[in-house]
Amino acid sequence: MQHKTLKPFPDDFFWGASTSAYQVEGAALEDGKGPSCQDVKEIPEGTSDLSVSVDHYHHYKEDIALMAEMGFKSYRFSISWTRILPNGTGEVNPKGIEFYNNLIDECLKYDIEPIVTMFHFDMPAALDERGSWSKHESIDWFAEFATVLFENFGDRVKYWLTINEQNMLTLVGPVIGTLHVPEGTTNLTKEIYQQNHHQLVAQAKAMQICHEMLPEAKIGPAPNISLVYAASSKPEDVLASQNFNAIRNWLYLDAAVYGVYNNLAWAYLEEQDAVPTVTEEDLAIMKAGKPDFIGFNYYNTATVEASDGSEAAGANGDQQSHLTFPGVAKSVDNPNLVKTEFGWEIDPIGFRGTVREMYSRYRLPLLVTENGLGAYDTLTEDGKIHDPYRIEYLRRHIEQIQLAITDGVDMMGYNPWSAIDLISTHEGIKKRYGFIYVDRDDFDLKTLKRYRKDSFFWYKKVIESNGQDLTD
Ligand code: BG6
């Protein structure tokens, strides 16, 4: 739809950016923090471990000051479960509470709204040993953690996100380094969807507890949502795109918003002999937990064609989330899109399409919790980082948000990935996303000094003009 006049961004739009604890904090075992699965996983070859990351733990004041200089209205970060509960349950670590109190207060000092993710890929190692999400009691572990967070930070944190990218944990867990496979597993798909089910219930319970304990606060999920296109107008390809959309996207949002399993996704699980055990009580919790908004990460769309069942299951191409499900859908490259240096397709228009579809299905305000470009950046001798490619990527996505707002979509904010350089999930720090450059590489910590990239100055102007000035 073409619009003659564009609607402005709302005055209270959350312009900001995102990070996650294990990817920025470092201090991995400092001040009483227990190990998480990220601290004990096998590190992908050629990439850094997570012990120092970009040392946000010791640089948070400087980092928040830089975010304030850009004019951030919000900062989305995650709380490390094992900094708060070193063993995952039981004893609370006062130093961990103190760190996040300081971080939250530092944000508020500059009128930056803290948006807190409760779980971002960092299961306590102690709980991994006890069976991780495969255990039904993981629902209670997460509820206990949630309660501690609400008790300690709920007086100041008004926006909460439950589980980051639960769909990616389920679909590509081994890439992120999070998949727990119990001994004796014979049907891995069934096991994975049992864990997924426990996460859905845990999320619903956390939303319920949040509303009981903090009636003023708002809480939502944070999956990775992107439209799946049909590769052609062949009816078989269109059905394949509906299948993949259900398995990738709607399974997670139907459960979070309506407390039910998506019928197509359920049919897929039946075909795989992978239906999870679901108790009456689980269903009641899923129905009772209601989000106030939907947080979601968007990087790119996927494209599929019909699968005759003869293909191999798994990733198809450079992008880990472009999967093939034999007999269901087969991922293919989209010839209309260009790719990043790391092989991810770029699709700003698909961003608008995705939010239009989400809003018409769920009618809840939408908060962008991630979007961004991973690229090789170069620090010049005079301390500059010229990243026009990042500016171009972000500009084209922000333009689409304004078009979506004009389409009638209720958009709450834009928090791209990432506020500051960090360690990517499996490609190290060489794949940079931040507005702020950190002087280190994968195997040399160097100075850890912070530098403002060109995109830093550009984003400052975007925020100052409330999204009206997107020029360089
Ligand atoms: C999202 C995650 O999947 O994408 C982040 O929530 C991650 O943790 C980001 O860093 C970019 O992915 P990657 O693999 O390039 O780090």
Name which of 350, 369, 348, 461 is nearest 412 in CA terms: 369
Give the angle 14-390-360 at the CA atoms, nearest 5°. Answer: 45
Q: Does 426 contact ligand 1 (Cβ within 6 A)? A: yes
What distance in Å separates the CA atoms of residue 283 and residue 287, rounded to the nearest whole number? 6
247: which DSSP letter? I
User: 423 is written with which tokens?
Assistant: 């360690």
Strand pairing report for 314-315 and 323-325: antiparallel
Please provide residue 303's backbone torsions phi and psi, each rounded to the nearest 5 degrees. Answer: -135, 135
The per-residue pLDDT for 199 is 98
Q: Does 430 contact ligand 1 (Cβ within 6 A)? A: no
Name which of 212, 313, 328 is nearest 270 in CA terms: 328
The total number of residues shown for the chain amounts to 472
CATH topology of domain 14-224+242-301+339-464: TIM Barrel (3.20.20)
Q: Does 226 contact ligand 1 (Cβ within 6 A)? A: no
Span from the CA of 399 to the centroid of ligand 1 (angstroms): 23
Place of tokens 């299948």: 243
CA dist 416 to 217, 288, 340, 377, 390, Å?
22, 31, 16, 17, 11
Contacts (Cβ under 8 Å, ≥6 apart) of 334: 229, 231, 301, 303, 345, 347
Q: Are 209 and 203 in contact (CB under 8 A)?
A: no
The per-residue pLDDT for 92 is 98
Residue nearest atom 16 of ligand 1, based on CA coordinates? 424
Residue nearest atom 5 of ligand 1, based on CA coordinates? 425
What distance, in Å, lies between the first and last C-alpha atoms of the chain? 27
Closest ligand 1 atom to the C-alpha of 431?
15
Span from the CA of 425 to the centroid of ligand 1 (angstroms): 5
As averages over each run of 10 residues, the pLDDT of the chain (472 residues) reads: 96 98 98 97 94 98 98 98 98 98 98 98 97 97 98 98 97 89 94 98 98 98 98 98 98 98 98 97 98 98 95 80 91 96 96 98 98 98 98 98 98 98 96 98 97 98 98 92
Give the angle 281-283-289 at the CA atoms, nearest 5°. Answer: 100
Q: Are 93 and 32 in contact (CB under 8 A)?
A: yes
The per-residue pLDDT for 313 is 87
User: 335 is written with which tokens?
Assistant: 């010839």
The per-residue pLDDT for 343 is 93
The per-residue pLDDT for 322 is 87
Q: Does 424 contact ligand 1 (Cβ within 6 A)? A: yes
The per-residue pLDDT for 177 is 82
The per-residue pLDDT for 317 is 74
The per-residue pLDDT for 321 is 77
Q: Does 20 contact ligand 1 (Cβ within 6 A)? A: yes
Closest ligand 1 atom to the C-alpha of 165?
6
Q: Which run of H or of E encompasses 370?
A: strand 366-370
Span from the CA of 280 to the centroid of ligand 1 (angstroms): 35
Closest ligand 1 atom to the C-alpha of 164?
6
Q: Does 295 contact ligand 1 (Cβ within 6 A)? A: no
